[in-house]
């Protein structure tokens, strides 16, 4: 019997994986193969690679495995020189070409101003959110400032996903924070409680409810101790997540949201009046207002304090609690924050001055109508001004049609043409992910076709965050259709982002992705039946 060619083999393979109990986030590697089961589109010496993801903190490890001399995370091919380009700068010092270089570190952030005034600062969270509370909050500065301590609680390694332990390491975060609250020399403390955001990305409603309750309970412990120490406290969040748990069609939404977030002020001596609404950019000016410190001209946010007595004394110490992923939604249906046991936040919102802050879209430098994320949230909380995101800048470059003239992309593609080598496009396949957009992939595919690239291979990463169930198969189908319309390209591998986008040095995960890309390890999909 003659075999029949399947037009969309990889999207069908993803759909088949769903029937076997797999899902996008942890999808095991699928590899396109020929009729003899030989893997197609493997990364080979002198090929060109464009890793088109943005954000960057989850992209460093895989990039290092291809570009770092003497890499020790796991065994790698001993002779695999490649031309490696990235959409943005993932980390300084990587041996890559960067298509959209960073706009530079920010100056005059909240932390900069406090450091210049001699304030002792502490930033506390667990490893899962360390880059947000340190690097992004400080305006993309990797190193601590003068008199700044970053306390990073280790993330648990004994669970595969955090719905197995929704409390995560929150007890250790609280323990470390209480010690700093009791230390009168520490004048500014930032505590990030990450559970709602992290667990909210997993489709497990009971686990999410436990995570919300844990955050509420531990925020209460911190507030109680701060009150004993006569510290001023601000409670806020970086973006929303589980307050909109379902799509209109009833499917679970495990992504971020466009909801506003709370801002609650607890002053030990005064009941100040707040504006009813604002943006995350208003938090830094409010902190400076409370401390009676002038803000720089670059800080275009405004203090949320509407009425402060002229005789008001500046506060001496301040605790900023960031409830990661805690959004506000008046609709209580499918609102897991409203459904959870939250006596502390219920009391704060009822009895203390509060405001609602925009934490998505243009308010945090993202395209209009898009959801917020932790990177943009923490960056804007600390900066006190709007910082336009890489995604928005790239989208605008595509709209202006200068994206196709980017020197880094041109070098990678022209190198493939000149040497008759393959071009590999690698990254997230999604529209809603903060790590990248399918529109960016399509723009690169169009460009490759226009430059005459001889062989184009696409390596796709899937993730459920912000997507409806089984969306991965639909996205892969769209990419396969794009390949057919261009007459160029194949989706040659698909894997869940759990295995390819790590930031905790879980090298066994990255190795699985590397071996898929280089050696074709994974379930072979022949494209014939």
Same domain, 321 and 440: no
The closest of 127, 336, 369, 131 to 245, measured between CA atoms, is 336
pLDDT over 80 (residue 282): yes
Same domain, 73 and 134: no
Kindly give, in sequence order, each residue whose CB lies less than 8 Å from that of residue 316, ignoring residues fewer than 6 positions away.
Answer: 187
Q: What pLDDT, on a 0 to 100 scale, did the predictor assign at position 269?
A: 81
Instruction: Examine residue 84 and state whether it is found in any structural domain, yes or no.
Output: yes
pLDDT over 50 (residue 1): no
- 202 φ, ψ (degrees, to nearest 5): -120, 135
Summarize the confidence of residues 71-95 as an average pLDDT.
Answer: 95
Instruction: Examine residue 209 and state whether it is found in any structural domain, yes or no.
Output: yes
Q: What pLDDT, on a 0 to 100 scale, did the predictor assign at position 5?
A: 58
pLDDT category of residue 407 using cuts at 50, 70 and 90: very high
Summarize the confidence of residues 421-430 as an average pLDDT.
Answer: 96
**Residue labelled with tokens 């925009």:** 358
363 touches 386 (CB < 8 A): yes
pLDDT category of residue 529 using cuts at 50, 70 and 90: low
352 touches 222 (CB < 8 A): no
Same domain, 358 and 442: no
Instruction: Examine residue 472 and state whether it is found in any structural domain, yes or no.
Output: yes
pLDDT over 50 (residue 3): no
Same domain, 363 and 216: yes
Give me the domain span that covers residue 326.
110-386
Q: What pLDDT, on a 0 to 100 scale, did the predictor assign at position 2?
A: 44
- Number of Cβ within 10 Å of residue 239's Cβ equals 28
Summarize the confidence of residues 256-267 as an average pLDDT.
Answer: 97
Q: What angle do CA 219, 221, 224 make, to 5 degrees?
A: 110
Helix (H, G, I), strand (E, B) or coil at 456: strand
β-pair partners for 277: 356
Same domain, 377 and 425: no
Instruction: Examine residue 3 and state whether it is found in any structural domain, yes or no.
Output: no
Percent above pLDDT 70 for the chain: 98
Instruction: Examine residue 4 and state whether it is found in any structural domain, yes or no.
Output: no
pLDDT over 50 (residue 166): yes
Q: What pLDDT, on a 0 to 100 scale, did the predictor assign at position 528?
A: 63
pLDDT category of residue 376 using cuts at 50, 70 and 90: very high
Last residue of a domain, one of 343, 359, 386: 386
pLDDT over 60 (residue 361): yes
pLDDT over 80 (residue 277): yes
pLDDT over 90 (residue 309): no
Same domain, 374 and 417: no
pLDDT over 50 (residue 434): yes
- State CA 51 to chain mean position distance: 16
Q: In what order do the strands lie in the sheet with 261-266?
A: 148-153, 121-126, 188-193, 318-323, 232-236, 261-266, 354-358, 277-279
235 touches 323 (CB < 8 A): yes
pLDDT over 80 (residue 467): no
Find the helix or strand (DSSP H, E) in which 306 lies: strand 305-307
Helix (H, G, I), strand (E, B) or coil at 496: strand
Give, in order, the Cα–Cα distances in Å from 475 to each of 317, 437, 460, 527.
50, 11, 10, 18
Last residue of a domain, one of 366, 386, 406: 386
Mean of the per-residue pLDDT values of the chain: 94
pLDDT over 90 (residue 101): yes
pLDDT over 80 (residue 109): yes
Helix (H, G, I), strand (E, B) or coil at 54: coil
Same domain, 193 and 223: yes
Q: What is the pLDDT of residues 17-40, one digit of tens each?
A: 999 999 999 999 999 999 999 999
- Number of Cβ within 10 Å of residue 411's Cβ equals 15
As for how many domains the chain has, the answer is 2
The closest of 282, 294, 281, 287 to 379, measured between CA atoms, is 281
Summarize the confidence of residues 44-70 as an average pLDDT.
Answer: 95
Q: What pLDDT, on a 0 to 100 scale, did the predictor assign at position 445?
A: 98
Instruction: Examine residue 2 and state whether it is found in any structural domain, yes or no.
Output: no
Task: Give the span between the Cα atoms of 231 and 45, in whole angstroms.
Answer: 59
Instruction: Examine residue 1 and state whether it is found in any structural domain, yes or no.
Output: no
Summarize the confidence of residues 341-345 as an average pLDDT.
Answer: 98
CATH number of the domain encompassing residue 434: 3.40.1450
Same domain, 174 and 277: yes
pLDDT category of residue 268 using cuts at 50, 70 and 90: confident
Listed in order, strand segments (DSSP E) in 369-480 are 422-428, 455-462
Instruction: Examine residue 324 and state whether it is found in any structural domain, yes or no.
Output: yes
pLDDT over 60 (residue 484): yes
Same domain, 382 and 396: no
Q: How many residues does the chain have?
A: 529
Same domain, 139 and 248: yes
Same domain, 354 and 439: no
Last residue of a domain, one of 386, 417, 435: 386
The closest of 430, 432, 441, 437 to 390, measured between CA atoms, is 437
Tokens of 352: 């203390």
Same domain, 61 and 175: no
Summarize the confidence of residues 307-315 as an average pLDDT.
Answer: 79
Q: What pLDDT, on a 0 to 100 scale, did the predictor assign at position 416?
A: 97
Q: What is the pLDDT of residues 187-221, one digit of tens each?
A: 999 999 999 999 999 999 999 999 999 999 999 99
pLDDT over 70 (residue 482): yes
């Amino acid at each position: 019997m003659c075999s029949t060619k399947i037009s969309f083999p990889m999207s069908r393979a993803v759909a088949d994986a769903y029937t076997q109990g797999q899902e996008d986030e942890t999808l095991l590697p699928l590899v396109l193969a020929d009729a003899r089961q030989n893997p197609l589109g493997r990364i080979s010496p002198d090929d060109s690679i464009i890793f088109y993801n943005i954000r960057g903190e989850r992209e460093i490890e895989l990039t290092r495995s291809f570009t770092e001399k003497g890499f020790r995370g796991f065994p790698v091919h001993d002779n695999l020189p490649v031309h490696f380009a990235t959409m943005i700068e993932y980390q300084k010092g990587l041996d890559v070409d960067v298509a959209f270089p960073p706009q530079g570190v920010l100056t005059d952030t909240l932390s900069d101003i406090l450091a210049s005034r001699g304030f002792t600062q502490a930033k506390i969270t667990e490893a899962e959110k360390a880059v947000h509370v340190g690097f992004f909050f400080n305006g993309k500065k990797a190193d601590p400032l003068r008199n700044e301590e970053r306390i990073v609680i280790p993330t648990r390694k004994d669970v595969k996903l955090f719905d197995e332990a929704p409390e995560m390491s929150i007890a250790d975060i609280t323990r470390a924070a209480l010690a700093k609250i009791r230390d009168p020399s520490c004048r500014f403390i930032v505590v990030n409680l990450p559970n709602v955001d992290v667990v909210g990305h997993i489709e497990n409603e009971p686990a999410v409810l436990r995570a919300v309750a844990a955050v509420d309970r531990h925020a209460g412990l911190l507030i109680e101790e701060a009150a004993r120490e006569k510290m001023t406290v601000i409670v806020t969040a970086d973006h929303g997540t589980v307050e909109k748990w379902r799509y209109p069609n009833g499917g679970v939404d495990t992504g971020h949201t466009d909801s506003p977030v709370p801002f609650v002020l607890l002053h030990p001596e005064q009941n100040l009046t707040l504006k009813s609404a604002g943006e995350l950019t208003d938090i830094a000016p409010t902190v400076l207002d409370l401390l009676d410190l002038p803000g720089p001209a670059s800080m275009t946010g405004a203090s949320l304090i509407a009425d402060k007595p002229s005789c008001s004394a500046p506060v001496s110490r301040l605790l900023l609690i960031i409830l990661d992923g805690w959004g506000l939604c008046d609709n209580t249906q499918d609102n897991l924050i409203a459904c959870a046991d939250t006596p502390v936040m219920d009391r704060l919102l009822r009895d203390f001055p509060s405001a609602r802050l925009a934490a998505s879209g243009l308010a945090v430098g993202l395209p209009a109508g898009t959801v917020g994320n932790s990177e943009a949230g923490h960056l804007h909380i600390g900066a006190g001004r709007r910082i336009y995101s890489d995604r928005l800048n790239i989208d605008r470059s595509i709209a202006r049609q200068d994206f196709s003239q980017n020197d880094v992309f041109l070098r990678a593609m022209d190198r493939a043409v000149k040497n008759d080598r393959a071009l590999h496009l690698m990254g997230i396949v999604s529209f809603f992910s903060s790590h990248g957009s399918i529109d960016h992939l399509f723009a690169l595919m169009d460009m490759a076709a226009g430059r005459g690239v001889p062989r184009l291979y696409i390596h796709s990463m899937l993730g459920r965050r912000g997507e409806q169930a089984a969306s991965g198969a639909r996205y892969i189908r769209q990419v396969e259709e794009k390949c057919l319309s261009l007459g160029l390209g194949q989706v040659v591998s698909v894997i869940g982002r759990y295995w390819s986008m790590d930031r905790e040095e879980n090298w066994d995960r990255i190795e699985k992705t590397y071996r898929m890309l280089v050696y074709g390890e994974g379930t072979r999909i022949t494209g014939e039946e």
